[in-house]
Amino acid sequence: MAPTLEADLTEPPSEALNANLKAAPPKLVAPEPEHCPGPESDQAGKGDACDGCPNQAICATAPKGPDPDIPIITERLSGVKHKVLVLSGKGGVGKSTFSALFAQAFSTLLRKKKIRRGDGDVEDNAEEEEEEDDTPPTVGIMDTDLCGPSIPRMLLGDNLQDIHTTSSGWEPVWASDTLAVMSIQFMLEDPDAAVIWRGPKKNGLIKRFLKDVEWGKLDLLVVDTPPGTSDEHLSIQSFLKEAGVDGAVLVTTPQEVALLDVRRELDFCRKAGIRVIGIVENMSGFVCPNVKCGRESQIFRPTTGGARKLCKDEGVLFLGSVPLDPRIGMACDFGESFLEAFPESVAAKRITEVVGLVGESIGLEVVT
Amino acid sequence: MGLENVKHIILVLSGKGGVGKSSITTQLALTLSLQGRSVGVLDVDLTGPNIPRFFGIEAKKVTQAAGGLVPVVVHEGRDKTIGIANGSTKKRRDNLTFGSLSCMSLGFILSSRSSAVIWRGPKKTAMVRQFLTSTLWPANLDYLLIDTPPGTSDEHISLLETLLKEAMPGQLAGAVVVTTPQAISTSDVKKELNFCVKTNVKVLGIVENMSGFVCPHCRECTNVFSKGGGEVMAREFGKPFLGSVPIDPAFVMLIEEGKLPTYPEGTMVEGVDVGGAGLADVSEAQDPDNYVPDDGLLVEKYTSCSLYPIFDGIVKRLVLDVEGEAS
pLDDT above 50 for A4: no
Among A66, A90, A117, give the residue marking a domain's end.
A66
Q: Flag whether A141 is in a domain.
A: yes
The per-type count for chain B, helices as H runs and strands as E runs, is 10, 13
Q: Flag whether A6 is in a domain.
A: no
Kindly state whether residues A178 and A52 are assigned to the same domain: no
pLDDT above 60 for A242: yes
CATH of the domain at A113: 3.40.50.300
Contact (CB<8Å) B220/A271: no
Q: Each residue of A155-195: pLDDT tens digit?
A: 998 777 888 888 888 999 999 889 999 999 999 988 899 99
Angstroms from B14 CA to nearest CA on chain A:
10
The C-alpha angle with vertex B47 and arms to B52 and B197, in degrees rounded to 5, equals: 95
Alpha carbons A92 and A88: distance in angstroms, whole number: 9
Q: Flag whether A15 is in a domain.
A: no
List the beta bridge partners of residue A113: none
Q: Flag whether A7 is in a domain.
A: no
Contact (CB<8Å) A271/B191: no
Q: Look at strands A164-166 and B221-222 and give their pairing.
A: unpaired
ipTM attached to this prediction: 0.82
Kindly state whether residues A54 and A73 are assigned to the same domain: no
Q: Flag whether A12 is in a domain.
A: no
Q: Which of B47, B50, B245 to probe the A interface (max A CBs under 10 A)?
A: B47
Kindly state whether residues A354 and A230 are assigned to the same domain: yes
Q: Flag whether A153 is in a domain.
A: yes
Strand, helix or coil for residue A120? coil
Contact (CB<8Å) B17/A90: yes
Kindly state whether residues A125 and A32 are assigned to the same domain: no
Burial A109-142 (b: 16+ CB within 10 A, else e): bbebeeeeeeeeeeeeeeeeeeeeeeebbbbbbb
Which residues 6+ apart lie within 8 Å of A120 measured at CB? none
The CA R_g of chain B, rounded to the nearest whole Å, is 19
Among A16, A50, A66, give the residue marking a domain's end.
A66
Angstroms from A187 CA to nearest CA on chain B:
14
Of B152, B220, B226, the CB nearest to A196: B152
Per-residue pLDDT, averaged over B38-60, amounts to 91
Kindly state whether residues A329 and A218 are assigned to the same domain: yes
**How does DSSP assign B86-115, residue by residue?**
SSHHHHHHHT--B--EEEEEGGGT-SSTT-
Task: Say if residues B188 and B16 touch (Cβ distance below 8 Å).
Answer: yes
Alpha carbons B310 and B320: distance in angstroms, whole number: 16
With the C-alpha atoms ordered B34, B37, B38, B39, is the resulting torsion angle positive or negative?
negative
Binding site as annotated, residues of A? 36, 50, 53, 59, 89-96
Distance (Å) of CA A30 to CA A26, A53, A59, B167: 12, 8, 12, 23
Residue B238: pLDDT band by 50, 70, 90 thresholds?
Answer: very high
Q: Please state, as a whole number, how many other Cβ atoms lie within 10 Å of the Cβ of residue A188.
A: 18
Kindly state whether residues A248 and A200 are assigned to the same domain: yes
Binding site as annotated, residues of B? 15-22, 215, 218
Would you state the pLDDT for residue B94?
72
Would you state the pLDDT for residue B176?
97
Q: Where are the alpha helices (DSSP H) in chain B?
A: 21-34, 51-54, 88-94, 121-134, 154-166, 183-198, 229-237, 249-257, 298-302, 308-326
Kindly state whether residues A105 and A151 are assigned to the same domain: yes
Per-residue pLDDT, averaged over A227-253, amounts to 91
Task: Say if residues A178 and A108 touch (Cβ distance below 8 Å).
Answer: yes
Q: Where are the alpha helices (DSSP H) in chain A?
A: 13-18, 56-61, 69-76, 95-104, 126-131, 151-156, 199-211, 231-239, 256-272, 306-314, 326-334, 338-341, 346-362
Contact (CB<8Å) B220/A330: no
Residue at B67: amino acid letter: G
- Locate the chain B residue with the closest alpha carbon to A272: B118
Contact (CB<8Å) B198/A194: yes
Residues of chain B neighbouring A293 (CB-CB closer than 8 A): 215, 217-218, 220
Per-residue pLDDT, averaged over B290-301, amounts to 74
Would you state the pLDDT for residue B140?
92
Residues of chain B neighbouring A336 (CB-CB closer than 8 A): none
Kindly state whether residues A194 and A46 are assigned to the same domain: no
The whole-chain average pLDDT of chain B stands at 85
Binding site as annotated, residues of B for [4Fe-4S] cluster? 215, 218
Answer with the residue of higher pLDDT: A304 or A251: A251
The CA R_g of chain A, rounded to the nearest whole Å, is 22
The whole-chain average pLDDT of chain A stands at 82
Binding site as annotated, residues of B for ATP? 15-22
Q: What is the DSSP letter of B47?
A: S
Which residues 6+ apart lie within 8 Å of B239 measured at CB? B177, B193, B203, B205, B206
Task: Say if residues B38 and B239 touch (Cβ distance below 8 Å).
Answer: no
- Locate the chain A residue with the closest alpha carbon to B179: A92
Alpha carbons A202 and A162: distance in angstroms, whole number: 20
Kindly state whether residues A41 and A100 are assigned to the same domain: no
Strand, helix or coil for residue A324? strand
Q: Flag whether A19 is in a domain.
A: no
Q: What is the DSSP letter of A367?
A: E
Strand, helix or coil for residue A179? strand
Backbone angles phi, psi at A224, to 5 degrees: -90, 135
Tally of structural domains, chain A: 2
Q: Each residue of A87-140: pLDDT tens digit?
A: 998 888 999 999 999 999 888 766 665 444 444 444 444 444 444 456 778 999
Half-sphere exposure of A258 (CA within 13 A, CB side): 31
Q: Which of A93, A146, A196, A330 to probe the B interface (max B CBs under 10 A)?
A: A196
Contact (CB<8Å) B225/A329: yes
Which of A321, A290, A93 lies closest to B215 in space, CA to CA? A290
pLDDT above 60 for A6: no
Kindly state whether residues A29 and A122 are assigned to the same domain: no
Kindly state whether residues A329 and A305 are assigned to the same domain: yes
Domains annotated on chain B, with CATH: 2-326 (3.40.50.300)
Per-residue pLDDT, averaged over B276-283, amounts to 41
Q: Flag whether A16 is in a domain.
A: no
Please give the residue range of the domain that contains residue A44. 25-66
Residues recorded for chain A: 368
Which of A284, A322, A281 lies closest to A300 in space, CA to CA? A284
Residues of chain B neighbouring A324 (CB-CB closer than 8 A): 224
Task: Say if residues B113 and A263 touch (Cβ distance below 8 Å).
Answer: yes
Would you state the pLDDT for residue B80?
73
Alpha carbons B73 and B104: distance in angstroms, whole number: 9
Q: Look at strands B221-222 and B268-269 and give their pairing.
A: unpaired
The per-type count for chain A, helices as H runs and strands as E runs, is 13, 14
Burial B236-274 (b: 16+ CB within 10 A, else e): ebebeebbbbbbbbbbbbbbbbebbbbbeeebebeeeeb
Would you state the pLDDT for residue B89?
56
Q: What is the DSSP letter of A348?
A: H
Q: Each residue of B94-141: pLDDT tens digit?
A: 778 899 999 999 888 877 777 788 888 888 888 899 899 999 999 999
Per-residue pLDDT, averaged over B218-233, amounts to 84
Backbone angles phi, psi at A131, to 5 degrees: -65, -30
Angstroms from B201 CA to nearest CA on chain A:
14
Kindly state whether residues A259 and A290 are assigned to the same domain: yes
Residue A8: pLDDT band by 50, 70, 90 thresholds?
Answer: very low
- Locate the chain A residue with the closest alpha carbon to B112: A264
Q: Which of B153, B190, B195, B219 to probe the A interface (max A CBs under 10 A)?
A: B153
pLDDT above 70 for B50: yes
